Amino acid sequence: MRIEDLRTPAALVDANVLERNAAAMAERARRLGVRLRPHVKTHKTLEAARLQVRGHFGGIAVSTLAEAAFFGAGGFRDITYAVPIGPSKLGEALQLTARLDRLNLLVDHPEAAAAVEAASRDQGLRPSVLLKVDCGAHRAGVDPSREESIAFAARLAASKNLDFRGILTHAGQAYRCRTADEIRTVAAHERDVMTAFAAHLAAAGVTIDEVSIGSTPTLAVAEDLKGITEVRPGNYVFFDACQVAIGSCTLDDVAFSVLVRVIGRYPERSELLVDGGALALSKDPGPTHVDPAFGFGVVLTAAGERLPGLRVVSLSQEHGLLRSATPLAQGAFRIGSLLRIVPNHSCLAAALFDRYAVIRSGQVFDEWRPVRGW
């Protein structure tokens, strides 16, 4: 099938680029001496995940229990549920624990840990647990500089109902960087925070096996990961407009785009209307700290060449409004013509589709179905 035959909006995955990205990160992890546990929430498909773990130990990270069940049924046996566990999800999580070789659960509060302990004791299970650490993103995790955090880790390690594996963090603040050099600083900080905390735990008599870090930006530029055991990048398999803007990759590294058609043309305003809105691209504002007028993605031709004069300036549910910096040339962008948009955040945009058209050299050769739900 040609991409011209697809119903729009359509999610496109360039298999050549995806395979190159997966291989590059796998090699980077090997070179840095860490295990690669890719975060598969970006694409939520068995096909891409199998490419990501090739040559590594096979563990993955997920963001939902629906993903954990789906990938577990697909043959993945070592999974980290990379969201702090809530009591309402413990029943389902422990059912999965019993079926998998390992399901790592995250905690960052004593109440959550107590709930996991109680439920595990009642069911005769001993789930794997990781302590979430805040290395500067300030979204979740314990403060590694506080004595209470060391005491909490010691309590987890002493529990007869928990298999305390170690510590985990995510340097989400890397997405607020403007350059690759700024990301390198965050990457070094992420490593240093975690290795220092691990050393403090060891001094307190708390032994851990895992020191896990994440974030595509930091892993794309990290130069030394001494003291780290595993890494959990996810977005790198697709990349997106935000990653390009902050210096994690180039536009040629982006494997995911949304195919749209021009459904309105307004030369008097130098604007185009396309049939891909917020339900195809998401409303992630993107790297506004780099460019306040960045818009909702990068506009490409159907063949994948950048159109720098066009910006996605607004989105409604099913409509996208593009504005040209120069007058629209007569005959250009005719009604029905195809464009591709690289979304600001590919993880969010991909999650809006129930299927991806997988392409090589502009031809559709496969269809992948991501898992949906929570």
Residue ending a domain, among 173, 202, 235, is 235
pLDDT in tens, 206-251: 999 999 998 999 999 999 999 999 999 999 999 999 999 999 999 9
User: Quick one: 146 and 268 in the same domain?
Assistant: no
In a domain, 125, yes or no: yes
Residue 314 predicted with pLDDT over 90: yes
pLDDT in tens, 139-180: 999 999 999 999 999 999 999 999 999 999 999 999 999 999
Q: Which residues of 179-206 are buried (b: 16+ CB within 10 A; e: fewer)?
A: eeebbbebbbbbbebbbebbebbeeeeb
Boundaries of domain holding 90:
16-235
- Phi first, then psi, for residue 247 (nearest 5°) are 100, 15
- Which ranges constitute the DSSP H helices of the chain? 15-32, 46-53, 65-73, 90-99, 110-123, 147-158, 180-203, 216-221, 241-246, 278-281, 346-350
In a domain, 204, yes or no: yes
Burial of 149 (0-12, 13-18, 19+ CB in 10 A): buried
Question: For the CA atoms of 341, 342, 346, 351, what is the dihedral angle to 10 degrees?
Answer: 10
User: Quick one: 274 and 166 in the same domain?
Assistant: no
Residue 84 predicted with pLDDT over 90: yes
User: Quick one: 330 and 183 in the same domain?
Assistant: no
User: Quick one: 216 and 264 in the same domain?
Assistant: no
In a domain, 244, yes or no: no
pLDDT in tens, 18-58: 999 999 999 999 999 999 999 999 999 999 999 999 999 99
Mean pLDDT of the residues in the chain: 97
Mean pLDDT calculated for residue range 120-143:
97
User: Quick one: 30 and 165 in the same domain?
Assistant: yes
* Whether 94 contacts 125, CB under 8 Å: yes
Mean pLDDT calculated for residue range 58-67:
98
DSSP states of 167-180: EEE--GGGGG-SSH
Residue ending a domain, among 204, 235, 266, is 235
User: Quick one: 228 and 292 in the same domain?
Assistant: no
In a domain, 242, yes or no: no
**Angle, in degrees to the nearest 10, between helices 110-123 and 90-99:** 50
In a domain, 240, yes or no: no
User: Quick one: 201 and 91 in the same domain?
Assistant: yes
What CATH number should be reported for the domain holding residue 321? Answer: 2.40.37.20
* Whether 177 contacts 219, CB under 8 Å: no
In a domain, 241, yes or no: no
Q: Is 142 helix (H, G, I), strand (E, B) or coil?
A: strand
Picking from 17, 10, 67, 74, the residue whose alpha carbon sits closest to that of residue 44 is: 67
Token duo for residue 270: 């130098």
Please count the structural domains in the chain: 2
- Confidence at residue 75, expressed as pLDDT on a 0 to 100 scale: 97
CA atoms of 37 and 77, how far apart (whole Å): 12
Residue ending a domain, among 235, 259, 281, is 235
User: Quick one: 108 and 220 in the same domain?
Assistant: yes
Query: Which residues, other chains included, contact 42 with Cβ-Cβ below 8 Å and sequence gap of 6+?
Result: 234, 235, 237, 238, 346, 347, 350
User: Quick one: 195 and 63 in the same domain?
Assistant: yes
- Confidence at residue 362, expressed as pLDDT on a 0 to 100 scale: 87
Token duo for residue 49: 């995940």
